[in-house]
Amino acid sequence: MPEIAIIGGTGIYNADTFELIEKVFPDTPYGKPSNEIYIGRIAGVEVTFLHRHGTTTPYPPHKVPYKANMWALRELGCKYVISACAVGSLKEEYVPGDTVVVDQFIDFTKGRDYTYFDDRIVHISIPEPFCGYLNGTFIDVLKETGLPYHESGTYVCIEGPRFSTRAESFMFRNFADIIGMTVCPEVQLARELGMCYCSIATITDYDVWKDEVVDIQMVKDTMARCLMNVQTILEKALPRIQADGCTECIEAARGCGAL
């Protein structure tokens, strides 16, 4: 089974470049994942692909079955998880259309199911929450492509489904570079399962701290214009990911008793 998983939206899945082998829809102790999981190849590399928000049943960000999704990918043998997502910018220099390789997060969600450990005490150590090996691989590719990018960025994750108020947006600017609704608890659950996780974020707007109103159509339009960039980055990066490229993430989970 493939060791690399991609989580993204409908636009990230490209039937022209994804060689589909099969679809599976496994049961987990936490219910079904948000969609059938596609198993196939991109650029000759075996991968799984999961629509985060589903295709037949739409899941808003605060209702995505994150625990089922991550558990199902782990049970399929996935070691590496690559999240492709859309985010807003909180800084002038983080321009719509740019790609951000996320390296830190601030969790501002309120009501999600954050952990697999409700029956025993496990304290996950997560000072560096994103996989350094995966981040480095994508940074190397971005340097070669010439696409506008940022090799670091702090992501503040909000509950959704609403966008920020202007006051919230100004507050978040003091602490983070980008804002979105999906990285938490995905990244936390990945660490509990000993999986390597990275987030390749596409900036779609300036949130509301600038004099513009952000709506879903703006996000969709910008993301549509950037899809080719995301696909190019993935196709170039996937063949470089080695089976033994990282051991730190699984060791972090073992070290705290998660595994």
Quote the percentage of the chain above a pLDDT of 90.
76
Q: What is the pLDDT of residue 1?
A: 58
Q: What is the pLDDT of residue 201?
A: 95
- 41 CB contacts (<8 Å, ≥6 apart)? 18, 19, 21, 47
Handedness of CA 172, 175, 176, 181 (dihedral sign): negative
CB 27 within 8 A of CB 37: no
Q: What is the pLDDT of residue 225?
A: 80
Active site residue 205: yes
Q: What is the pLDDT of residue 233?
A: 94
Average pLDDT of the residues in 170-190: 97
**Which of 207, 211, 215, 244 does the annotation list as catalytic?**
207
Burial readout 25-60 (b: 16 or more C-beta within 10 A, e: otherwise) = eeebebebbbbbbbbbebeebebbbbbbbbeeeebe
pLDDT at 57 over 70: yes
Active site residue 207: yes
**Which of 205, 211, 215, 221 does the annotation list as catalytic?**
205
- Fold classified for 4-255: Rossmann fold (3.40.50)
Q: What is the pLDDT of residue 82?
A: 98
